[in-house]
């Protein structure tokens, strides 16, 4: 849990240009802030918990990622810190990033184009003064509890990881088509370690291979009843690192066979990311999954890297529109235009298009009207244990006999 540390103003700066970071900190200290600086995203995410800030300043171009990624992660964590976006990239890009932050529900304090003057930073910090401080930036039930390699290892040894199930429905018929299976540790309770956190740790420590197998085993162990004679699909998240494990495709085929599940019922979701960086190996591995009968989905489409290139070259069968665009549908004409264009793009490539993060009826109706194939989100149901999912399915009447 995040410790409460009074109401003093604390600024956490993330910038890969050390001198810029130092300048911001120095100016902020003059304005009465406590400051903390790092040039690394992982350290920044950790400090959010250990030294909770009231304000954060983020550069858009970072050595180990980009500011939009960080914004997205802060939004995913429900961060309430005042956000200052800093960049050398010019007004239009800064504006777009600021809009993304606001549409993601973050509290934008302002933007700062490099090089900036002391007066500019000072006026931003004055604006920040009028924003009520919200300590730690993170809601109490969704703290960035970090996790150590050893802790993760112990949880894996105890087989603590389970899958929770979130329904996906057809927008044409309203029928249940399957579930996305999401890793949970050890249970989906307030204060539990968030999937984004333990998955990153597993990727960094090489434990992702065991974690993936444990989650998949848990996910495939529940066999939901068919709906209208059609077997339901399991959407499983795959880390790009899993693709380096040559034994994995065979393991998955055997696991499906042991559970009596056809590969065509399994959709592997891969997030578009910079680490999909060995095009030939990737092309071969992904093609092998398709040859074995699995479906492939490009996850979080629209917020990552080189989407178009990956989409055109790689054998995906499904595209999942990132929830950032879905969230703004009812209020932002731009989000609506983007979502409509992405649906058109997906269809022109012959892909099944899924919208995630559907939180209200308006979004559901707009997506249906725009021709999106499937939807997933809190408006339909939150991720649930298999017991809760079975009850939910029965209560909706989406099961045979």
Residue numbers at the binding site for ligand C2E (CB under 6 A): 166, 182-183, 194-196, 199, 212, 215, 237-239, 269, 271, 299-300, 323, 356-359, 377-378, 383
Per the listing, tokens 């603590």 go with 160
- Closest distance between ligand C2E and the C-beta of residue 329, in Å? 12
Residues 6+ apart with CB under 8 A from 220: 234, 255, 256, 259, 261
User: b or e along 296-329 (b: 16 or more beta carbons within 10 Å of the residue's beta carbon)?
Assistant: bbbbbbbbbbebeebbeebebbbbbbbbbbbbbb
Instruction: Say if strands 318-321 and 295-301 run parallel, antiparallel, or are unpaired.
Output: parallel
Q: Extract the tokens encoding 164.
A: 């929770």
Query: Using CB distances below 5 to 8 A depending on partner kind, what does residue 377 bind out of ligand C2E, Mg ion, none?
Result: ligand C2E
In a 3-state reduction of DSSP, which class is residue 110?
strand
Count of other CB atoms within 10 angstroms of residue 63: 12
Q: Smallest Cα–Cα separation from 60: which of 26, 22, 20, 119?
A: 20
What span, in angstroms and rounded, lies between the C-alpha atoms of 169 and 154? Answer: 36
Of 318 and 356, nearer to Mg ion (C-beta) is 356
CB of 267 to ligand C2E, least distance (A): 11
User: In the annotation, is 356 catalytic?
Assistant: yes
Q: Which is nearer to ligand C2E, 47 or 320 (CB)?
A: 320
> Minimum Å distance from CB 12 to Mg ion?
27
Closest CB to ligand C2E among residues 118, 378: 378
Q: Helix, strand or coil for residue 246?
A: coil
Q: Which of 299, 307, 352, 381 binds Mg ion (CB under 5 A)?
A: 299
Q: Which residue is nearest to Mg ion (CB)?
A: 269
Kindly name the residue from 49, 295, 318, 356 that is annotated as catalytic.
356
Question: Please, what is the minimum distance in Å from the beta carbon of residue 299 to ligand C2E?
Answer: 5
Alpha helices in 130-269 (DSSP H): 149-157, 195-205, 208-221, 248-259
Binding partner selected for residue 240 from Mg ion, ligand C2E, none, CB under the kind-specific 5 to 8 Å limit: none
Site string for Mg ion, 70-89 (x = CB under 5 A): --------------------
- Applying CB under 5 A, among 15, 66, 69, 269 the residue interacting with Mg ion is 269
CB of 347 closer than 8 Å to CB of 371? yes
Q: Quick one: what does residue 215 bind among Mg ion, ligand C2E, none, with the CB cut-off 5 to 8 Å set by partner type?
A: ligand C2E
Q: Considering beta carbons, is residue 133 or 240 the nearer one to ligand C2E?
A: 240
Q: Which stretch binds Mg ion (CB under 5 A): 153-161, 213-221, 298-306, 390-398?
A: 298-306
- Give Cβ neighbours of residue 46 (< 8 Å, ≥ 6 apart): 144, 146
352: contact with Mg ion by CB under 5 A: no
Residue 167's binding partner among Mg ion, ligand C2E, none (Cβ under 5 to 8 angstroms by kind) is none
**Within 13 A of 194's CA, how many CA atoms are on the CB side?**
20
Residue 300 as a binder of Mg ion (CB under 5 A): the answer is yes
Task: State the Rg of the chain over Cα.
Answer: 22
47 binds, among ligand C2E, Mg ion, none (CB under 5 to 8 A by kind): none
- Dist CA 266 CA 272 (whole Å): 19
Is 237 among the residues that bind Mg ion (CB under 5 A)?
yes
Tell me: does residue 69 bind Mg ion (CB under 5 A).
Answer: no
Which residues contact Mg ion (rule: CB under 5 A)? 237, 269, 299-300, 356
Q: Which residues are catalytic?
A: 356
């Amino acid at each position: 849990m995040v410790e409460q540390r009074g109401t003093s103003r604390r600024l956490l700066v993330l910038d890969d240009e050390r001198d810029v970071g130092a300048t911001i900190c120095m100016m902020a200290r003059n304005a009465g802030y406590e400051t903390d600086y790092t040039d690394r995203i992982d350290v920044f995410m950790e400090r959010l918990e250990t030294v909770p800030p009231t304000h954060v300043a983020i550069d858009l171009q970072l050595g180990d990622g980009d500011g939009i990624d960080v914004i997205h992660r802060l939004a995913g964590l429900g961060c309430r810190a005042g956000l200052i976006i800093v960049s050398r990239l010019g007004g239009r890009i800064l504006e777009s990033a600021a809009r993304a932050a606001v549409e993601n529900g973050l509290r934008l304090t302002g933007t700062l184009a490099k090089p900036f003057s002391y007066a500019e930073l000072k006026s931003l910090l004055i604006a920040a003064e009028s924003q009520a401080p919200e300590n730690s930036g993170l809601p109490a039930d969704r703290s960035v509890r970090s996790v150590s390699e050893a802790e993760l290892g112990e949880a894996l040894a105890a087989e603590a990881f389970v899958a929770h199930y979130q329904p996906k429905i057809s927008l044409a018929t309203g029928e249940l088509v399957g579930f996305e299976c999401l890793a949970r540790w050890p249970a989906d309770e307030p204060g539990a370690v968030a999937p984004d956190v333990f998955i990153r740790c597993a990727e960094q420590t090489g434990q992702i291979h065991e974690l993936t197998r444990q989650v998949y085993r848990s996910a495939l162990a529940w066999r939901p009843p068919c709906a209208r004679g059609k077997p339901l699909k399991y959407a499983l998240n795959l880390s790009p690192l899993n693709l380096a494990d040559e034994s994995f495709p065979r393991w998955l085929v055997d696991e499906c066979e042991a559970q009596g599940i056809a590969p065509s019922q399994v959709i592997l979701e891969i997030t578009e990311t910079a680490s999909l960086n060995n095009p030939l190996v990737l092309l071969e591995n992904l093609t092998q999954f398709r040859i074995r009968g699995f479906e492939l989905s490009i996850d979080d489409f629209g917020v990552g890297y080189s989407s178009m290139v990956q989409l055109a070259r790689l054998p995906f069968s499904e595209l999942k529109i990132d929830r950032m665009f879905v969230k703004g549908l009812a209020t932002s004409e731009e989000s609506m235009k983007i979502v409509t264009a992405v649906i058109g793009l997906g269809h022109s490539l012959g892909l099944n298009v899924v919208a995630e993060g559907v939180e209200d009826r308006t979004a559901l109706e707009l997506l249906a009207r725009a021709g999106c194939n499937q939807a997933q989100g809190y408006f339909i149901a939150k991720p649930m244990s298999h017991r809760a999912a079975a009850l939910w399915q029965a209560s909706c009447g989406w099961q045979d006999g």
